[in-house]
A and B are shown apart, each in its own frame.
Chain A
């Protein structure tokens, strides 16, 4: 009896000791783990697959390296990516030839893939060839930096790589820092390629073969991705140190639940909460809320400039002066963002060459009525205003205000809420007369915005504007080497934009990153997701 009793005591002591011993270990591993929750989901490990989600982009930034990456700068006291600072990632350094036609990359000699084999210029060549020739997303992106064919990429020696450009293109180098041109372990990828699929697109969708800071531990599409740190990764900088040993990216569809998780400390960071929740959490003050205006994006109300009555410039102007900007900004975004209305242009000239820019427009119903009269429609007309279900939380209150305000000048608006796929189809077919949308440019230079969103008969030209002067200027600005001239052209483009009023810029919504107070280093990135390598715990 006595013996059994002591055995029991011993057992209890052992259990307690075990608990005490495991507790700190668990707590420590929690501190070294980053748990990121999101409403969206990761659907592929290769960001090049058509249909890739933005969350998958973020994961690929951690699992793959690129030749170069963007630096960061402070904007109103918040860290944001810096398009003008390109730092090496797999490249130790790079030289641009005097004529701007050749970029030579010197690769890091100590860089290794996650399987331990060295990264060579051959791998870089194979990866970039894939990005410009395979049926992948990278193709259309790299095109914007004059990178179009495999013959532009040359291996000089195992650690030197050269890119040749047909014209000196400012965006060639920044393009190589975007999501798509990942550097893949070509030996592994080739071994898994098939004759139907020479670029191993199917295999790389579910496997990684990179040199990035994190390795995939488990990948459940649509649910979660768990990554562990690649201890051999040495491309880090003080800004990008890859502090966390483990990163969990988890899909939590309900925004209120995400807010609860972060507030309770079970999740560390999230960037897609509802504006009202962000406001509440910010007021409570226990969490860190970093709101960065998405300065490479713009939310607008677009009119199709080819569908009557919006083909009439005075109708477009009338609408621009009849929108209740302030009320919309407060109702839709809780004023979390940068307004792009109500600017003053002295002597009617643009004050900036940057795009997006604040427009010299404000609510003025009398002016709107005058324009409507000038358009020959003093009694107004009827139209539909569309937005997609995915944006309902901001677009719904906005649409109601648009309807109310336009009603005052006699324009009758029906509100149409479309499922996302239906909306994109109708936009692509240019069937919507009047709607709201948002655009974002990874490489936010003025000419890039104008070329991609305001020229040509293509999907992203939401307003279907076709202005000869604007087309010519945008093309000219692309290869303009002289900074002063480029600014001049940018201002001209902005002036045309306001004069033609193809669409009405509203605001740049904030990216609200809500995180545990212990997190540090958050940087707003061009892809509008969290780069897990930026973060560390204090």
Chain B
């Protein structure tokens, strides 16, 4: 119990120490957006008759008529009060947009990561147990294919086969069939909200909608996870304590899973943490192909139209998630290997 308390205290301390980095990210993105060519006011004032006057109205609305240092101070003041500004693109507050869209991205990414881990670790272990065998080469081929095929290609391919040809999957438009009524939002994770509301038809609808995009994303990240698992399993299996364990006649399961895998899992956790953060930001193609209302596609649309506030909000959010995930990975380290302390 005491060690748990100490872990939490240390985690909190580490979180505090990452605050300056977050602040730096905030200021940097703010300045970067202003340096980029492209004037959002001109872009958004593109109605058939929008002239100078409309451009000025939008500029004032966005606060772009003020000098940049003043804009930055105002922005920092707003962020300090939890206000990330307004998006011209959706006409909503950025916090509202992100709050609605982040759970969609998280649900998708977590499911994908789960699928990837559940398939990558056994694959890696199998490949490591018989290096150079047919299984090993099969896994290598599968991984290579997964990485080679860009996600939008595999996404479109899966849609073509499972939706268009076979008709097994529902139409790839968002998180739930348009004709299904939504459960009361509690967590924002539809599969959980439906369960909480006791609506199993709804849960099934949301789950069916989720499975294809999650598979698409998982395919792409199975490779690094499986390769890392294989490599560190090889090291672990070749080490002295495994030889000892084998020599004292421990069961196969105990040797491989309890001793070898537990020792091999550390680098996998590290990679999983990195993979997760990357997936969350980089799954924009999957989100586009499946019309998934997530944060990444939101940020890309905002970037193309130079809509400052959403891009800044998105980067800040991603940086914070990165910090939290890294912290989580460190805590998991401690559980996997008690010698490690954060």
A: residues with CB less than 8 A from B are: 26, 30, 35, 37, 41, 43-44, 49-52, 135, 137, 139-141, 143-144, 205-206, 220-224, 226, 248, 250-254, 256-257, 260-261, 263-264, 266-267, 389-390, 419-422, 424-426, 428, 440-442, 452, 458-459
Bound form: Cα–Cα A30–B39 in Å: 43
Do A141 and B44 touch (CB < 8 A)?
Answer: no
Q: Which of A140, A226, A424 has the most CB of B within 10 A?
A: A424
Do B42 and A260 touch (CB < 8 A)?
Answer: no
Partner of A257 from the list B97, B291, B298 (CB cut-off 8 Å) is B291
Q: A222-B298, A261-B171, A425-B37 are in contact. Are A459 and B43 (CB under 8 A)?
A: no
Judged by DSSP, the binding face of A is: mixed
Partner of B91 from the list A43, A140, A251 (CB cut-off 8 Å) is A43
Do A50 and B304 touch (CB < 8 A)?
Answer: no
Do A223 and B293 touch (CB < 8 A)?
Answer: yes
Do A205 and B43 touch (CB < 8 A)?
Answer: no
Bound form: Cα–Cα A7–B31 in Å: 71
Partner of A141 from the list B43, B48, B53, B160 (CB cut-off 8 Å) is B48
Q: A222-B293, A260-B164, A425-B43 are in contact. Are A37 and B91 (CB under 8 A)?
A: no
Partner of A205 from the list B91, B172, B306 (CB cut-off 8 Å) is B91
Bound form: Cα–Cα A266–B169 in Å: 12
Q: A43-B90, A222-B90 are in contact. Are A422 and B38 (CB under 8 A)?
A: yes
Q: Indicate if B2 sits at the interface (CB-CB under 8 A).
A: no
Q: Indicate if B289 sits at the interface (CB-CB under 8 A).
A: yes
Scan B18-49; emit 1 where CB is below 8 A from any A CB, else 0.
Answer: 00000000000000000011111011111111
A-B contact pairs, 27 of them (CB 8 A): A43-B91, A50-B54, A51-B88, A51-B89, A51-B91, A52-B47, A135-B57, A137-B49, A140-B51, A140-B53, A141-B47, A144-B49, A221-B90, A222-B293, A251-B291, A253-B291, A257-B289, A260-B159, A260-B172, A390-B304, A419-B306, A421-B43, A422-B306, A424-B38, A425-B43, A440-B48, A442-B48
Do B89 and A43 touch (CB < 8 A)?
Answer: yes
Do A44 and B58 touch (CB < 8 A)?
Answer: no
Do B305 and A257 touch (CB < 8 A)?
Answer: no
Do B49 and A140 touch (CB < 8 A)?
Answer: yes
Q: A43-B90, A140-B54 are in contact. Are A257 and B304 (CB under 8 A)?
A: no
Do A261 and B173 touch (CB < 8 A)?
Answer: yes
Bound form: Cα–Cα A311–B83 in Å: 49
- Besides A35-B178, A222-B293, A267-B171, 4 more A-B contacts (Cβ < 8 Å) are A50-B61, A140-B54, A144-B49, A254-B291
Do A421 and B39 touch (CB < 8 A)?
Answer: yes
Partner of B288 from the list A37, A253, A267, A428 (CB cut-off 8 Å) is A253
Q: Indicate if B174 sits at the interface (CB-CB under 8 A).
A: yes
Do A51 and B48 touch (CB < 8 A)?
Answer: no
Q: A250-B173, A419-B306, A422-B38 are in contact. Are A50 and B47 (CB under 8 A)?
A: yes
Interface residues of B in 252-308 (CB under 8 A from A): 288-291, 293, 297-298, 301, 303-306
Bound form: Cα–Cα A257–B216 in Å: 15
Closest CB pairs A-B (n = 7): A421-B306, A421-B38, A51-B44, A422-B38, A140-B49, A221-B90, A421-B43
Q: Which of B37, B39, B46 has the most CB of A within 10 A?
A: B46
Complex contacts, B173 vs chain A, CB 8 Å: 37, 250, 252, 257, 261, 266
Complex contacts, A49 vs chain B, CB 8 Å: 91
Do B50 and A264 touch (CB < 8 A)?
Answer: no
Do B42 and A424 touch (CB < 8 A)?
Answer: yes
From residue A340, how far is it (CB to closest CB) to chain B in Å? 20
Bound form: Cα–Cα A240–B338 in Å: 73
Bound form: Cα–Cα A144–B51 in Å: 13
Bound form: Cα–Cα A226–B174 in Å: 15
In the complex formed, the residue of B with least CB distance to A253 is B288
Interface residues of B in 143-160 (CB under 8 A from A): 156, 159-160
Q: Which of A51, A140, A260, A458 has the most CB of B within 10 A?
A: A51
From residue B87, how far is it (CB to closest CB) to chain A in Å? 8
Complex contacts, B55 vs chain A, CB 8 Å: 428
From residue A26, how far is it (CB to closest CB) to chain B in Å? 8
In the complex formed, the residue of A with least CB distance to B175 is A223
In the complex formed, the residue of A with least CB distance to B39 is A425
Do B163 and A458 touch (CB < 8 A)?
Answer: no
Do A458 and B51 touch (CB < 8 A)?
Answer: yes
Bound form: Cα–Cα A50–B301 in Å: 18
Complex contacts, A419 vs chain B, CB 8 Å: 38, 303-304, 306
Do B291 and A252 touch (CB < 8 A)?
Answer: yes
Do B297 and A253 touch (CB < 8 A)?
Answer: yes
In the complex formed, the residue of B with least CB distance to A428 is B42
Partner of B50 from the list A44, A140, A248 (CB cut-off 8 Å) is A140
Complex contacts, B163 vs chain A, CB 8 Å: 260, 264
Scan B303-317; emit 1 where CB is below 8 A from any A CB, else 0.
Answer: 111100000000000
Complex contacts, A30 vs chain B, CB 8 Å: 179
Q: Indicate if B92 sits at the interface (CB-CB under 8 A).
A: yes
Q: Indicate if B52 sits at the interface (CB-CB under 8 A).
A: yes
Bound form: Cα–Cα A156–B54 in Å: 33
Bound form: Cα–Cα A140–B289 in Å: 37
Bound form: Cα–Cα A390–B301 in Å: 11
From residue B287, how far is it (CB to closest CB) to chain A in Å? 8
In the complex formed, the residue of A with least CB distance to B53 is A140
Partner of A422 from the list B37, B57, B92 (CB cut-off 8 Å) is B37
Partner of A254 from the list B46, B288, B301 (CB cut-off 8 Å) is B288
In the complex formed, the residue of A with least CB distance to B156 is A256
Q: A52-B47, A424-B42, A440-B48 are in contact. Are A223 and B174 (CB under 8 A)?
A: yes
Complex contacts, A26 vs chain B, CB 8 Å: 179
Do A224 and B37 touch (CB < 8 A)?
Answer: no
Bound form: Cα–Cα A203–B201 in Å: 36
Interface residues of B in 59-100 (CB under 8 A from A): 61, 88-92, 97, 100
Complex contacts, B43 vs chain A, CB 8 Å: 420-421, 424-425
Do B304 and A51 touch (CB < 8 A)?
Answer: no
Bound form: Cα–Cα A51–B61 in Å: 11
From residue B196, how far is it (CB to closest CB) to chain A in Å? 21
From residue A22, how far is it (CB to closest CB) to chain B in Å? 11
Partner of B48 from the list A44, A206, A441 (CB cut-off 8 Å) is A441
Complex contacts, B289 vs chain A, CB 8 Å: 254, 257
Complex contacts, B301 vs chain A, CB 8 Å: 222
Interface residues of B in 229-246 (CB under 8 A from A): none
In the complex formed, the residue of B with least CB distance to A135 is B57
Complex contacts, B88 vs chain A, CB 8 Å: 43, 51
From residue B20, how far is it (CB to closest CB) to chain A in Å? 32
Bound form: Cα–Cα A263–B159 in Å: 13
Complex contacts, B305 vs chain A, CB 8 Å: 420-421
In the complex formed, the residue of A with least CB distance to B297 is A253
In the complex formed, the residue of B with least CB distance to A440 is B48
Bound form: Cα–Cα A9–B55 in Å: 70
Complex contacts, B172 vs chain A, CB 8 Å: 257, 260
Partner of B304 from the list A223, A248, A264, A421 (CB cut-off 8 Å) is A421
From residue B85, how far is it (CB to closest CB) to chain A in Å? 14
From residue A287, how far is it (CB to closest CB) to chain B in Å? 14
In the complex formed, the residue of B with least CB distance to A252 is B291
Bound form: Cα–Cα A428–B37 in Å: 13
Complex contacts, B92 vs chain A, CB 8 Å: 221
Bound form: Cα–Cα A264–B40 in Å: 38
